[in-house]
Amino acid sequence: MGNTIQNGITRPYVGQNSQSITDVKQTGDKKSGDVTSPQKPQVLRAWAFELAADGTTVAPPPANAPRRDPVVIELGQIEVGTRIEVISLSDNPQAEFSELCKGEVFELPLTGYDVGNRRGSVALNAEQMKEKGIVAGERLMLRQVDKDGNASEAVHVFLDPNGWANQTLNEPVQGGGTQQVRGRQIDVAVGVINLQGNPNPGKTDRVLGKATVDQSAPKLVEGNVSVVSDQLSKAEHDLLKGYVGAMPVLVGAGNYTLDQIKQTLDANAGPWSAHPTYKAPYDVLRAVLADSARLVQFTSALGAGSGAAPTAANVIDWAQASALAALATEPTATFIKLDKALEPGVTVSVQNSRTGEAVSIGQGAEARSSALVLRDVRNGDPLILTYRDQAGNPGAPYGFRYDPASKDGKAKSNPLDIRLGAFNLKPQPTPTQGT
């Protein structure tokens, strides 16, 4: 007998006496290895309400129409006669200056050059920006290439839409009067400047620019997201506990570099190594110095995943070390790695939908790789990745299930493919008797 449907609600077990609930629970994907039950649901809202009359509206805020605005880039240490090559990390976060991406490399013309100061200026009007596909808030990588094809190291460029606007401008409005807007007086170098005897000397054009809005959402390269779990061994955990106990006795509780710890131990090696109270912590810290790579990597990555400021490459993060040392069992962490998956400058968040655990990090302006860390991830857990750029524009969310058996730690199933029922609150006609 098929499922019984009453008022649009499916009741899967009515009339299915030949199939037990246990049978139904086992009809899922047996290959995934997911044996973790979802959490008990919470009731957050259960409302009964009357529909408002047709034609009722909520007044929306005024929308900013998408637009392209002029851009000015001024560059120092520019060699005369070089060309400026650019790739867009907003269009393709994994773009690079190589044969693999040669179709994505484009050239920006210098519109002004200051010989005395070795400064080059690029000024594009709205039409040129449209031609190049450039928008406010875009993240670029830029380099100079000489006539023999020798390329410089690339530099990151952020087309700031409003951070430079430190003046108030009075802008005329239609119908008369003015409105105050944020902006700035901008001097743009045009032509070749500071070259004696130049028959066509350059000049400086002065324009007034007003702040604009970045409305372009960041893009995610999903294939560059991977997941891996890591666990400290018992010996490593014991060493970490010893480190947390020894540091306050000999050096201090805090983020000291390994070099600072070594210098302190070296300076006191004689008395400490023979002292009945100091010998044990001295030996522990010597052991940490001899095998510190795992403790540095583990605690620093957890610190970055919690949104804390990243510690130096040779520092065992004290806050994380203390928390991990207090655990009764060997600590495990799951790292969600993003390798050239997003443009720089974005804020990335990941949530484990089973537990509700969530962490966020902000990628730096130069960062093209980062990692988020969750503490309780199990096989089959649905992970939801969200991200937004500096202007607050959100990108399309990305969902996947953790699968430690797969190469990149992700199962093929997408937890965002959510089964949804129909939603229709319009009154339905009452069926006539006999139908």
Tell me how crowded residue 349 is: count the other CB atoms within 10 A of its CB. 16
Tell me how crowded residue 242 is: count the other CB atoms within 10 A of its CB. 18
For the chain, the average pLDDT equals 85
Span 240-257, average pLDDT: 96
Q: Judging by beta carbons within 10 Å of its beta carbon (0-12, 13-18, 19+), is residue 334 exposed, middle or buried?
A: buried
Span 377-393, average pLDDT: 95
Where is pLDDT greater, at 54 or 180?
180
Span 177-182, average pLDDT: 88
* Strands, E assignment, 222-262: 225-231
Question: What are the distances in angstroms from CA 377 to CA 209, 233, 296, 314, 334?
Answer: 50, 18, 22, 28, 7
Residue 306 has pLDDT above 70, yes or no: no
Provide the pLDDT confidence category of residue 133 given band limits of 50, 70 and 90.
confident
* Distance (Å, whole) CA 376 – CA 352: 8
Residue 283 has pLDDT above 60, yes or no: yes
Q: Two tokens at 351?
A: 């949530």
Please give the torsion angle defined by the CA atoms of residues 232, 235, 237 and 243, in that order, rounded to the nearest 10 degrees: -130
> How high is the pLDDT of residue 38?
62
> Strands 112-114, 178-193: parallel, antiparallel or unpaired by DSSP?
parallel
Span 95-109, average pLDDT: 93
What is the rounded radius of gyration, in angstroms, for the C-alpha atoms of the chain? 30
Residue 157 has pLDDT above 60, yes or no: yes
> How high is the pLDDT of residue 68?
57
* Distance (Å, whole) CA 285 – CA 267: 14
Single-letter amino acid code for the residue at 279: K
* Distance (Å, whole) CA 158 – CA 137: 6
Residue 330 has pLDDT above 60, yes or no: yes
Residue 50 has pLDDT above 50, yes or no: yes
Residue 165 has pLDDT above 70, yes or no: yes
Span 308-315, average pLDDT: 74
Looking at the domain that runs over 222-401, which CATH code has it been given? 2.60.40.10
Intervals of CATH 2.60.40.10 along the chain: 222-401
DSSP secondary structure letter of residue 290: H
Residue 270 has pLDDT above 70, yes or no: yes
188's enclosing H/E stretch is strand 178-193
> How high is the pLDDT of residue 192?
95
- Whether residue 265 contacts residue 282, with contact meaning beta carbons closer than 8 Å, is answered with yes
Residue 3 has pLDDT above 50, yes or no: no
* Distance (Å, whole) CA 196 – CA 3: 90
Q: Residue 328: what are its φ and ψ, rounded to 5°?
A: -75, -25
* CA 27 to chain centroid: 37
Span 267-278, average pLDDT: 94
Percent of the chain with pLDDT over 70: 82
Residue 23 has pLDDT above 50, yes or no: no
* Distance (Å, whole) CA 257 – CA 285: 12
Per-residue pLDDT of 395-435, as tens digits, reads: 999 999 999 999 999 999 899 988 788 877 777 676 666 65
Question: CA nearest 67: which of 132, 127, 139?
Answer: 127
Span 307-325, average pLDDT: 83
Tokens 């484990």: give the residue: 352
Total-model pTM: 0.76
